[in-house]
Amino acid sequence: MRELGISVLDELIAHLARLPGIGFKTAQRLAIFILKSPDEYAQQLAQAILDVKLKTHLCKRCFNVAEDEYCRICSDPKRDVHKICVVEDIVDVMAIEETHTYNGLYHVLGGVISPLAGVNPEDLNIRPLLERVKNEPIEEIILALNPSTEAETTIIYLTRLLRDTNVQISRLASGVPMGSHLEYLDGATIGMAIQARQKIDKE
């Protein structure tokens, strides 16, 4: 890595370069931008970074990001409480919300089952999902996982767990390419995939 020899600047570049999708060159450009910005901007940026860590936690119900006990979606009385959209990550909630095509609730699993990566069912928010199915008026669960072999394993696992319940299980229709991530897809693709979701036979 090319260092500028100015330790505080190099340190900022090193931190920025750790962000996803930010290479060394971009990190350098961002650091120089911050360096040239008014002090006020740097303070606001630093405070915003701290706030997002200190003032947020996971929603007690759906594990989405929340500033209070429950997230903005769980607290909204206009949401359809009969549907839960199960996603891997908070960023997937954001991606689906941006499409304005879904009005139900969410449940963030925190990943997918991946024995090779050491992720087992007990590492995910699966038990709280089952609790919700038991205690909430859920009629449908939409499995909106990023297409992958691990997601398929997770879908099979969840479908088995929910086999003896009255909840209808559906999954996103094809149209979401294998190996892609919801966060990188355009709203129309995600919206169509939600609209054309398919029922899963509880075999």
Is 106 or 150 the residue whose CB approaches Zn ion more closely? 106
DSSP assignment string, the chain: ----S-HHHHHHHHHHHTSTT--HHHHHHHHHHHHHS-HHHHHHHHHHHHHHHHS-EE-TTT-SEESSSS-TTTT-TTSEEEEEEEESSHHHHHHHHTTT---EEEEE-SS--BGGGTB-GGGTTHHHHHHHHHHS---EEEE-PPSSHHHHHHHHHHHHHTTTSS-EEEEPPTTS-TT--GGGS-HHHHHHHHHT-EE----
Q: Of the candidates 31, 62, 109, 185, which one interacts with Zn ion according to CB under 5 A?
A: 62
* Among 16, 27, 61, 169, contact with Zn ion (rule: CB under 5 A): 61
Residue 83 interacts with Zn ion (CB under 5 A): yes or no: no
Q: Give yes or no for residue 109 binding Zn ion (CB under 5 A).
A: no
Which window, 10-18, 70-78, 112-120, 158-166, contacts Zn ion (CB under 5 A)? 70-78
Name the nearest CA neighbour of 162 among 185, 130, 119: 130
Q: Give the residue carrying structure tokens 């996982």.
A: 145
138 binds Zn ion (CB under 5 A): no
Q: Which is nearer to Zn ion, 13 or 108 (CB)?
A: 108
- Interaction of residue 96 with Zn ion, rule CB under 5 A: no
Tokens (6 digits) for 112: 């997918």
Token code pair at residue 68: 């209070």
Task: Kindly list the distances between the CA atom of residue 67 and the CA atoms of 30, 74, 80, in Å, as whole numbers in the listed order.
Answer: 28, 12, 21
Select from 71, 90, 95, 190 the one that contacts Zn ion (CB under 5 A).
71
**Residue span binding Zn ion (CB under 5 A) among the ranges 57-65, 154-162, 173-181, 182-190:** 57-65
Q: How far is the CB of 8 from Zn ion (least distance, A)?
A: 39
Q: Rank residues 62 and 145 by Cβ distance to Zn ion and give the closer one.
A: 62
Q: Which of 12, 16, 59, 151 binds Zn ion (CB under 5 A)?
A: 59
Q: Output 71 or 95, the one with its CB closest to Zn ion.
A: 71
Which region among 61-69, 110-118, 145-153, 169-177 touches Zn ion (by CB under 5 A)?
Answer: 61-69
Least Å distance, CB 165 to Zn ion, is: 21
Residues at the contact surface with Zn ion, assessed by CB under 5 A: 59, 61-62, 64, 71, 74
